[in-house]
Chain A
Amino acid sequence: MPQRIFICVVLLLCVSIAQAKNDVVYKLSAGIEGVARYMPGEKTKPAIFILHGFLTTNNFNTILSLGQMLHENGYTVLAPTLTLGINRRDSGLACKAIHTNTVEDDVNEIADWVNWLVKKGHKDIVLLGHSQGSLKQLVYAAERKNPKEVKLIISTSLSYIDAFIEESEKQQLITSARQAIKDKNNQPETYSVAYCKNDFIAPANVYLSLVRWDKELVISAIDKVNTPLYVIMGGKDRYFDKPWQTQMQNTKAKVSIIDNASHFFDGNEEFDYHDKILSILDDNLF
Chain B
Amino acid sequence: MLPYSIRTYLLTFILISLVLFGFLGFQTYQQITMVNEVIDKDNHELALAELKESMRQLLSTGQDELEQLLEWNEVQQQLDESSFYVYWRDQRLKNAYQLASYIDSIELYDKNGDALAKLPYSVFPFVVPERKTYFKNNDGHYSLYLYSPIAVNHNKELAQYYQGNKNIKGFIGLRIDYLKALDQLAHFSHIKYGSINLPEITQEYITPEVLLDNVQFETIDNPYSNVLQTLVNHNLRHYFILLVILAALIFWFVIQFISRPLTSMERYINALRAGVDDSDFDSIIPRVRIKEIESLRRSLTTYQSELDNVHTTLDKKNAKLWHLAHHDALTGVFNRRAFEEDWQHLQELVEDQNISVSFLLYDCDHFKAINDTYGHETGDKVIQIIAESIHSSLRASDKLYRIGGDEFAAIILNTGLREINQIAERCNAKIEEYTFSRLGIKEPVKVSIGLAHNEGNDVINFSELHRQADLAMYHAKSSPQHLVQFSEEIDQNNSCLVSSRIVNAVLDSIKHNQNIKLHFQAVFNCTRKQVEYYEVLMRIQNDSNLIYPKDIFPIIERHSLEKELDFAVIQALRSCFEQQSIPENCGISLNLSAATLVRPNLYELFIPFLPYLSKHKFVLEITETALITHIQYANDNLEKLRSDGFVIALDDFGSGYSSIRYLANMPIDIVKFDITMIHDLNKNKRTRTIIQDTAKLVLDAGFQLVAEGIETEEIREMVSEMGATHLQGYLIGRPMELSLITEKK
Chain A interface residues toward B at CB < 8 A: 20, 23, 25, 32, 35, 84-91, 93-94, 96-98, 100, 186-188, 201, 203
Mark interface residues in B70-82 (1 if CB within 8 Å of A CB, else 0): 0111101101110
Find chain B residues with CB under 8 A from A20 CB. Answer: 157
Q: Count A-B pairs with CB separation below 8 Å.
A: 61
- Given A35-B158, A96-B92, A97-B92 in contact, is the A85-B77 Cβ separation under 8 Å? yes
The docked-state distance in angstroms from the alpha carbon of A1 to that of B153 is 40
Given contacts A88-B155, A90-B73, A91-B73, contact A96 B96 (CB under 8 A): yes
Chain A residues near B657: list those with CB within 8 A: none
CB distance from A162 to the nearest CB of B (A): 24
**A85, B92: Cβ atoms closer than 8 Å:** no
Contact B158 A85 (CB under 8 A): no
Are A93 and B73 in contact (CB-based, < 8 A)? Answer: yes
Assembly CA distance A84 to B153 (angstroms):
18
Q: Is the CB of A98 within 8 A of B158?
A: no
Q: Which residues of B24-79 are within 8 A (CB) of A?
A: 71-74, 76-77, 79
> Closest chain B residue to A16 by CB distance?
B157
Whether B74 and A187, one on each chain, are in contact in the complex, defined by CB atoms closer than 8 angstroms, is no
Instruction: Point out the residues of chain B lying under 8 angstroms from A187, CB to CB.
Output: 84, 87
Asked, given contacts A35-B158, A188-B84, whether A100 binds B92 with beta carbons under 8 Å apart, the answer is no
Q: How far is the CA of A243 from the CA of B616 in the complex (A)?
A: 187
Instruction: Tell me the bound Cα distance from A23 to B95 in angstroms.
Output: 31
Given A88-B158, A90-B155, A187-B87, the answer on whether A98 and B92 have CB atoms closer than 8 Å is yes
Is B83's CB within 8 Å of the partner chain A? Answer: yes
Interchain CB contact under 8 A, A25 and B84: no
Residue of A nearest to B80 (CB): A87
Of chain B, the residue at the smallest CB distance from A92 is: B73
Provide 25 A-B residue pairs closer than 8 Å at the C-beta atoms, listed in order of the A residue: A23-B157, A85-B81, A86-B74, A87-B79, A88-B155, A89-B76, A90-B73, A91-B73, A93-B73, A93-B74, A94-B96, A96-B92, A97-B74, A97-B92, A97-B96, A98-B87, A98-B88, A98-B92, A100-B81, A100-B84, A186-B83, A187-B84, A187-B87, A188-B87, A201-B87
- Contact A87 B83, CB 8 Å, known A25-B159, A96-B96, A98-B88: no
* Inter-subunit contact A100/B77 (CB<8 Å): yes
Q: Taking the nearest CB of chain B, how far is it from the CB of A252, in angstroms?
A: 38
Q: Is the CB of B95 within 8 A of A96?
A: yes
What CA separation (Å) do A89 and B75 show in the bound complex?
11
CA distance A203 to B88 in the complex (A): 12
- Inter-subunit contact B77/A86 (CB<8 Å): yes
In the complex, chain B residues whose CB is within 8 Å of the CB of A98: 74, 77, 84, 87-88, 92
Contacts of B76 in A (CB 8 A): 86-89
Q: Mark B462-482, 1 if CB is under 8 A from A, else 0.
A: 000000000000000000000
CA gap between A89 and B79 in the complex, in Å: 13
Q: Is the interface of A mostly helix, strand, loop or mixed?
A: loop
Q: Classify the secondary structure of B's interface with A.
A: helix
Q: Give the residue of B80, B87, B96, B159 whose beta carbon is less than 8 angstroms from that of A85.
A: B80
Residues of chain A lying within 8 A (CB to CB) of residue B96: 94, 96-97
Query: Count the B residues whose beta carbon is within 8 Å of the partner chain — how many?
Result: 22
Interface residues of B in 145-181 (CB under 8 A from A): 153-155, 157-159
A35 to B153, CA, bound (A): 12
* Contact residues in B for A96 (Cβ distance below 8 Å): 92, 95-96
Q: How far is the CB of A85 from chain B (nearest CB, A)?
A: 6
Question: Bound complex: CA of A201 vs CA of B96, how far in Å?
Answer: 11
Which residues of A have CB within 8 Å of B77?
A: 84-87, 89, 97-98, 100
CA distance A251 to B527 in the complex (A): 211
Interface residues of B in 82-135 (CB under 8 A from A): 83-84, 87-88, 92, 95-96
- Residues in A with CB closer than 8 Å to B72 are 91
In the complex the two chains form, is A25's CB within 8 Å of B158's CB?
A: yes
For the complex, give the distance between the alpha carbons of A96 and B77 in Å. Answer: 14
- By a CB distance below 8 angstroms, the chain B residues around A100 are 77, 81, 83-84
Bound complex: CA A201 to CA B88 (Å): 10
Contacts of A88 in B (CB 8 A): 76, 153-155, 158
- Please give, as numbers and ranges, the residues of chain A lying within 8 Å of B154 by CB-CB distance: 88
A100 to chain B: closest residue by CB: B81
Chain A residues within 8 Å of B158, by CB? 23, 25, 35, 88
Shortest Cβ distance from B702 into chain A, in angstroms?
159
Could you tell me the distance in whole angstroms from the C-beta of A106 to the nearest C-beta in chain B? 15
Complex-state Cα separation, A88 to B75, whole angstroms = 12
CB <8 Å contact, B73 and A86: yes
CA distance A97 to B92 in the complex (A): 7
Most chain B Cβ neighbours within 10 Å, of A87, A94, A188, A201 = A87
Nearest neighbor of A202 in chain B, beta-carbon distance: B84
A87→B82 CA distance, assembly (Å):
13
* Complex Cα gap A188–B77 (Å): 14
Complex Cα distance, B155 from A225, in Å, reads 38
User: A138–B720 Cα gap in the complex (Å)?
Assistant: 209
Cβ-closest chain B residue relative to A57: B73
Nearest Cβ in chain A — how far from B96, in angstroms?
A: 5
A88, closest chain B residue (CB): B155
| Residues of chain A within 8 A of B83, CB atoms compared | 100, 186
Scan B562-592; emit 1 where CB is below 8 A from any A CB, else 0. 0000000000000000000000000000000
Contact indicator per residue, chain B 691-709, by CB within 8 Å of chain A (1) or not (0): 0000000000000000000
Q: Specify which chain B residues have a CB less than 8 angstroms from the CB of A32 in the assembled complex.
A: 80
Cα A91 to Cα B87 with chains together (Å) = 21
Chain B residues within an 8 Å CB radius of A97: 74, 77, 92, 96
